[in-house]
Amino acid sequence: MKDDNDISSSLLLNYVIFSSVYLFSIALNLALVMAFCSHPLELGLYFFLPYFTWTKLVTRHETKEGARVNWFSEDFLLFAQMRKHLRLSFHRPSLPKALSSCQKDDQFIFAFFPHGTSCDYRILMDGMLKDIIPTIYHKTRTLAASVLFLIPVVREMALYTGCINASRDVAERILDKGYSIVVLPGGEAEQLRTVYQQERIYLKNRKGFIKLGLRKNIPIVPVYVFGVNDYYYTTDAGAGVRKWLQKKFGVCIPLIAGLWGSIFCPFPIPTTIVFGEPISFPKIVSGTSPTTEELNTAHDEFCKALRQLFDTHKQELGYGDRVLEIL
């Protein structure tokens, strides 16, 4: 059993690692902006023009099949330590047979909840998925906000861990090519509505992933991540203004405090990912797009399945006193 000094040293190491990952990106991009203000011609000509020409006009990985880097996603040393901090794991007994024994041509839409104030687990779990869905891992991509692909370093981290642009066109193209996708439907709206130690998700008005599953006739897998809503203390200070900024400009400003007050390092909360059974909906009869009734029926079925998944495992994983609230 570890003594107090070992625990403190481990927490300090994790605090530094989480903070460094975030601060490196912030510091680099601030330095680039400041340098551009001082030397716009030189930096524009020798950095921004080549970088954005290459990334947005030539490669455009985020609009295609992505650019996952296996060693980075699976074995990057800092990620390994961050996983230990969160004790990130998949609940293998809950893994449906349809996933554990799926064939290489099978497709799924994995809908993960909650997003939480920070979805660090998303980046960290990507390399772990290889052991969970080995036959389709290399053809599984995560939909991520378009803005992430405009920020140097953030863009690379997203691409290297299996992300592509979350636009509808990109999602449809990747599914048409036989890929599976991971989605976090709650997004920024859920980030701002996350309350510390409350199981609250934003789903009632999130039907795009359901429509996608219906249109492509692909099963949707409900996934719940226990522990995410305990990562940070939250506050509703300025909630109205922050929600307005998010809705109007897509700017998300969560006010949070994690380990030792950090906005970058979460509390060391065990994080357990639980899978539900894939939901196969009846084939739509209206051609290429579901009717309102078909969409609402499928959405209601997904909500019930997600709630059942949560209720089935909450006692075992230490959340027996909580109720899943769907906003």
The residue written with tokens 């994690």 in the block is 258
* Cis amide prior to 114 (ω within 30 degrees): yes
- 66 Rama sector, left if φ>0, alpha if ψ -120 to 50, beta otherwise: left
The mean of the pLDDT values for the chain is 91
Tens of pLDDT along 225-260? 999 999 999 988 887 888 787 777 777 778 899 999
Closest CA to 228 of 164, 148, 301, 324: 324
* Position 276 confidence tier, pLDDT thresholds 50, 70, 90: very high
Mean pLDDT of 23-45: 91
- Domain at 247, CATH number: 3.40.1130
Take residue 266 and report the two structure tokens written for it.
């979460």
Which residue segment(s) compose the domain that 229 sits in? 4-326
Mean pLDDT of 206-234: 95
Q: What is the pLDDT of residue 191?
A: 87
CA distance 291 to 15: 49
Q: Does the structure show a pLDDT above 90 at 118?
A: no
Q: What percent of the chain has pLDDT over 70?
A: 97
* Position 91 confidence tier, pLDDT thresholds 50, 70, 90: very high
Q: What is the pLDDT of residue 3?
A: 63
Q: What is the pLDDT of residue 237?
A: 85
Q: What is the pLDDT of residue 244?
A: 82
- The DSSP secondary structure of 213-241, one letter per residue, reads HHHHT--EEEEEEETGGGSSEE--TTHHH
Closest CA to 84 of 162, 20, 12, 10: 10
* H-state helical runs in 127-278: 129-132, 154-160, 168-176, 187-193, 208-216, 239-249
User: β-pairing, 220-226 with 272-275?
Assistant: antiparallel
Q: What is the pLDDT of residue 252?
A: 77
What total number of domains does the chain contain? Answer: 1
Q: What is the pLDDT of residue 5?
A: 64
Q: What is the pLDDT of residue 64?
A: 94
